[in-house]
Amino acid sequence: MYDYLIVGAGLFGAVFAHEAKKKGKKVLVIDKRSHIGGNIYTEDVNGIQVHKYGAHIFHTSNKEVWDYIQQFAEFNRYTNSPVAVYKGELYNMPFNMNTFNKMWGVVTPQQAQAEIDRQKAEIKGEPKNLEEQAISLVGRDIYEKLVKGYTEKQWGRKATELPAFIINRLPVRLVYDNNYFNDKYQGIPVGGYTKIIEKMLDGIEVRLNTDFFKNKAELSALANKVLFTGMIDQYYNYKYGELEYRSLRFETEDLPNISNYQGNAVVNYTEYEVPYTRIIEHKHFEFGCQGGYETNHTVITREYPAKWRKGDEPYYPMNDSKNNELFAKYKALADKEENVIFGGRLGMYKYFDMHNVIAEALSCAKENL
């Protein structure tokens, strides 16, 4: 008999499993995929660490979380500095003085602020949706070129139908600084993320290619308690209806005879007419240390947003008011469970970055172990 069955070998499940083992608990981890790591899984492709499910850059201002993750890997000093392409024009992200200079020819923060203030004045009162929020932050020019098309592709909805809070994740700065994140600590683990999960799960029984829902009762009976990191609505057999998610599709190419495809790890394509949202060139995540730029190949991934349908891989919860109200019904069921814990993006129906996942998993472990 196991103390815990952990459904999902992603970051939340792995952190909890690691903490449970430290407390002497007997743990079984299962995952429906053929690999551990969930969406942070990286694989070696001819010497380049490929982020299989999209770019993952670790960032946090929480020293406890930073110190925790350092146990499992050495991190490089990668700084996330994406570039946005709109109809052949290149703009630095996040919105900063380099962006404003390219957009309007302004040079000083005062000039940029004056232009932003002039443009954002069209929004009166509290922004009601993402379009109004974006314009209230950076004005219509930046919104039309760098926000609207990209966001509508990513979420599969018009910007006027999306909640305002989504755009809060885009920092705005009146400095010449292309660092996307504001956090004190940032980097990517040397050798990829999979090694981190391997170390977390060292000495713990893991069964891959195991679908919890094909043998739910039988698998649940193996342990005193279950930590479930999958979709909470699926756990309850969609009793109140389906929650909405966004999915993604990835096209990865190993390009021979090209050592440097785009000169940056992440290039966003902000026109709605371009079907993918971004192209990732993986070797730049480790400064060319992965064989160096003299290596005569590179690996790129085109990332396409996709409408989620039952059976597809869910990536983002759609946290609008309608879905949050539905989630509240499932949460009420979950709160009554004595032997089942729900965690992670899908189990808690919340958008988490990696540092959030670790903090939540450590909190969950402290509460339950």
Q: Which of 303, 315, 330, 349 is catalytic?
A: 303
pLDDT reported for residue 170:
60
- Which residues, in sequence order, are CB contacts of 189 under 8 Å at separation 6+? 58, 72, 73, 74, 75, 76, 195, 196
Active-site residue 118, yes or no? no
One-letter identity of residue 205: E
142 CB-contact burial (10 Å; exposed 0-12 / middle 13-18 / buried 19+): buried
Residue 44: active-site member? no
pLDDT at 294: 61
Distance separating alpha carbons of residues 333 and 127, to the nearest angstrom: 33
- Determine the pLDDT at residue 7: 98
Q: Domains (ranges, CATH) in the chain?
A: 2-78+185-242+316-368 (3.40.50.720), 83-169 (no CATH)
Q: Can you give the pLDDT at residue 340?
A: 98
Given the residues 278, 281, 315, 349, the one annotated as active site: 278
Strands 2-7 and 83-86: unpaired
Question: Does the annotation count 302 as an active-site position?
Answer: no
Respond yes or no: is residue 271 known to be catalytic: no
Cα separation of 30 and 226, whole Å?
Answer: 11
Q: Residues 80-114: pLDDT tens digits?
A: 999 999 999 999 998 999 999 999 999 999 999 99
pLDDT for 117: 94
At residue 245, φ and ψ (nearest 5 deg) are: -135, 165
* Active-site hit among 41, 150, 185, 246: 246
Q: What is the pLDDT of residue 319?
A: 85
- The residues near 118 (Cβ < 8 Å, ≥ 6 apart) are 139
What pLDDT was estimated at residue 358?
A: 98
pTM of the predicted protein model: 0.91
Among 118, 169, 207, 249, the active-site one is 169
The stretches in the chain having pLDDT less than 70 are 169-171, 287-294
- Residue 156 has a pLDDT of 83
List of residues 6+ apart from 161 with CB closer than 8 A: 129
Q: Is 249 a catalytic residue?
A: no
Q: How far apart are CA 59 and CA 79, in angstroms?
A: 9
Residue 63 exposed, middle or buried by CB count within 10 Å (0-12, 13-18, 19+)? exposed
Angle of CA points 336, 227, 209, to nearest 5°: 135
The verdict on whether 33 is a catalytic residue reads no
Please tell me which residue in 31, 41, 150, 173 is annotated as part of the active site: 173
**DSSP calls for 324-341:** HHHHHHHHHHHHH-SSEE
Query: What per-residue confidence (pLDDT) applies to 287?
Result: 62
Which of 171, 108, 110 has the alpha carbon at shortest distance from 142? Answer: 171
Q: Is 246 a catalytic residue?
A: yes
Token pair listed for 38: 């969930």
**The pLDDT of residue 126:** 92
